[in-house]
Chain A
Amino acid sequence: MAEYSALALIKNALNGNKDWKPAWRKPEPKASYDVIVIGGGGHGLSTAYYLAKEHGINNVAVLEKGYLGSGNVGRNTTAVRSNYLLPANTRFYEHSMKLWEGLSHDLNYNVMFSQRGCLNLAHTPAQLDDFARRGNAMRHLGVDAELMTPAEISRLIPAMDVSPDARFPIYGGLMQPRAGTARHDAVAWGYARAADRRGVDIVENCEVTGFIREGDRIVGVTTTRGDIRARKVALAVAGSTGRVMQLAGIERMPIESHVLQAFVTESLKPFIDTVVTFGMGHFYMSQSDKGGLIYGGDLDGYNSYAQRGNLPIVEEVMAEMLALFPSLGMARVLRSWGGVCDMTMDGSPIITTGPLPGMYLNCGWCYGGFKATPASGWCFAHTIAKDEPHELNAAFTLERFRHGAIIDDKGQGATPRLH
């Protein structure tokens, strides 16, 4: 398979682009594999990649029910950051950040990772104190964080209303300069191509319809493209975890499925060169390289597996955008869409062995799964290969709720829609 390089680009430009190969094969599924990964989203693909790269396990199939990249990896708002309060989260997401920093090189695929910073705005003195505390917690663990004054913020984002007359005046903000955005489709395609090149079979349009058992043990899956057996079956189906676990006979999980909407405007001239989040409500925005403003807000707030939301949230998100950027009243919205999020009871993910013998589970990404893509696959691959978690994901168990060892960064308790 052709490497991407300046030389290959010139060569193909001169001969009519005839030498490019498909980025990944379209193999028929084999009868058995060492590992089956259910879910061809970012996390499933990165899991397969790191299984092959870090652990030498190449006999792997990734089963995707639709086409590659059709789920949440193509529906998120592309922000990447590691600005958490609690050590388990900070260490995990910082590991992810470090993988992001070398990802384009590692995959030989430009994921357009752009460290343009992420700024959380504070609108009360108490909120600014809280952000200072979180910034100190981050710096304590070696992560970059800077507190910004309103004057500095005004210079960084001239279009934003930082006046004392704003609906919610800005007292300051917490900036993580190494945070940023990446092109989400490229992340899926890059991992797919790199995994394929290491021998992983990526099988699209292959929906899992049930699990094959021997005694208690899961030994394979039934699919719309036939039965496939494997020594280890790994789930990376966040958004559909409830439905797939039901096929395995597990009816209750510490998860609710909720719909999150996102929006993009028509392309505008350079307007904002960082990721900004509003602190009085829930709103976040960045600008894509094409010029569209990409933004979103809260969950709709009720259980949903529909990949579409309702109008009250649309209205709320637009109102919050205008509170920060009155000038955007003239901008036209190009598209809106929805994605289904696994909301856990503490807002943190689950990466674990089990809960059945032969099964491995990666789920519960709430609405923060995109930035976790590299570390999620890296830790999950370790968990699958070694049959025990890496220290970075050791806290993300399924049993932590029962034991009271929850990781509740926001302090909301067991109310998934508020995380």
Chain B
Amino acid sequence: MLITCPYCGPRDVSEFTYQGDGNRERPAPASQNLDAWNEYVYDRLNPAGDHNEVWQHSGGCRSHLRVVRNTLTHEISSVVFARGHVPHRSPSRRGAKA
């Protein structure tokens, strides 16, 4: 699996660290909405198909990246810097490409 870092170009997956599901939205630190915290910490969309993820090019330029990767084929369709990226709420799984 190759990930094309926007800064370094295509690099082997072993240079990158997976930082997990990029769909989650962290509640405000003072939030007392337990449902929102529970969803943030424990619940995952876990789609079979395109998945929004966060990776870090830890063995390279150390940029944090937003990646869209297909969990059925491992094909990567988009890589952008996480910095300045406006997180979009991913469509519900039923709407997502399966």
Contacts and interface: CB of A to CB of B under 8 A. Distances in A.
A123 B52 CA distance: 38
B38 interface: yes
Contact of A302 (B18, B39, B44, B45): B18
B33 interface: no
B41 A414 contact: yes
A154 to B, nearest CB: 34
Nearest to A251: B93
Given A251-B94, A304-B71, A402-B38, A415 B44 contact: no
Interface in A332-378: 345
A256 interface: yes
A252 B45 contact: yes
What is the predominant secondary structure among interface residues of chain A facing chain B? mixed
B61 interface: no
Interface string A244-256: 0010000111111
Contacts of B38: 401-402
Given A304-B74, A305-B48, A414 B42 contact: yes
Interface string B72-98: 111000000000000000001110000
Interface residues of B, number: 28
A170 to B, nearest CB: 28
Q: Which of A252, A306, A310, A414 has the most CB of B within 10 A?
A: A252
B20 A253 contact: no
A301 interface: yes
Contact of A306 (B18, B45, B72): B72
Given A303-B51, A304-B71, A306-B74, A402 B42 contact: yes
Contacts of B46: 242, 252-253, 255-257, 303
Contacts of A417: 18, 20
B14 A242 contact: no
Nearest to B2: A310
Nearest to B44: A256
Contacts of A312: 12-14
Nearest to B17: A301
Contacts of B69: 302-303
A243 interface: yes
A155 to B, nearest CB: 38
Interface in A273-319: 301-306, 310, 312
Interface of B: 1, 12-14, 18, 20-21, 34, 38-39, 41-48, 51, 53, 69, 71-74, 92-94
